Chain A
Amino acid sequence: MPRRLAAAAALLLLSGVAASANEFERVRPVTNDATRKECGECHMAFQPGLLPAGSWTRIMDGLDDHFGEKASLPPGPAAEIRAYLTGNAAGRGDPTLLRITEQRWWLREHRFRPEVWLRKDVMSKANCEACHRDAARGLYEDD
């Protein structure tokens, strides 16, 4: 039955596509004002759904040395941001890694020549918006 075979093949193909679609290409935008303001002062306010709760906890524990920068916050906003990030964190990912850009799914999606990161309009792997125009809204499918 060639017709049935074709249908089965199509189904298989479709399920294959669904399985490889990256759940991190579309995440809920940041809805907390303190997070938007404080995190967004030095880099795009990354969506909580990009890291697991364990990573966010360790990031918030280490703001005095935030990847080499002092990013300490007053206790009030710090507690609010910590609760928001951990409460809306990703269900997946490696909680021992602090950087989004070290997560396995991220590396798989960003296999470029290293000089791309040195471009003046890019500057840093943290600058999602340099390539993903709607990154601040949680949309990363435009690649």
Chain B
Amino acid sequence: MTPHTIRFILPTLAVFAAGAAIAAAPNPARTALLDGYAAQAKAQSPAFAGFSAERGRALYLGPHGGGKPETNACAACHTPDPTAQGRHQRTGRGIEPMAVSANPKRFTDPVEVEKRFDRDCPAVLGRACTAQEKGDFITYLSGQ
């Protein structure tokens, strides 16, 4: 390796490292959203002991009963791979990826997040989601 190559590689590595640090840093809006759901979950059930990415994954992948047969899981539209682009089950409209790594804007606007849970939970589960389910879901997708 010539000194010239090293001079090129070192700064490149530094840029990548900085990029990774930014990506890994928790978004304050998302943290606040999760804190809010945690407070609600505690109020709904005293046994609440934090969110679980594993439960969030099970919620995402389904399949569930109770909702519409054609949307028996989040994955029905968002695909089993949350980093992939989804597709509206009826209209074919593209849906941006759910995974935060692929779509850093996810779960940063509380009004938007509540609007989507309010619409999609009845379609998938046949009922509203609990605060714990919302937190589990966001926790899972924040790590994807």
Contacts and interface: CB of A to CB of B under 8 A. Distances in A.
Contacts of B118: 70, 72
Contact of B91 (A73, A74, A121, A123): A123
Contact of B119 (A71, A124, A130): A71
Interface string A102-143: 000000000000000000011110110010000000000000
B38 interface: no
A69 B88 CA distance: 11
B134 to A, nearest CB: 16
Interface residues of B, number: 11
Contacts of A126: 90-91
A123 B123 contact: no
Interface residues of A, number: 19
A72 B111 CA distance: 12
Contacts of B119: 69-72
A69 B123 contact: yes
Contact of A42 (B88, B111, B122): B88
Contacts of B46: none
23 contacts: A40-B93, A42-B91, A43-B91, A44-B93, A68-B90, A69-B90, A69-B123, A70-B119, A70-B122, A70-B123, A72-B118, A72-B119, A74-B111, A74-B115, A121-B92, A122-B92, A123-B91, A123-B92, A124-B90, A126-B90, A126-B91, A127-B92, A130-B92
10 nearest A-B pairs in the assembled complex, by CB-CB distance: A123-B92, A43-B91, A70-B119, A127-B92, A124-B91, A126-B91, A43-B93, A42-B88, A42-B93, A124-B92
Given A123-B90, A123-B91, A124-B91, 19 more contacts: A40-B93, A42-B91, A42-B93, A43-B93, A44-B93, A68-B90, A69-B119, A70-B119, A70-B123, A71-B119, A72-B119, A74-B115, A121-B92, A122-B92, A123-B92, A124-B92, A126-B90, A126-B91, A127-B91
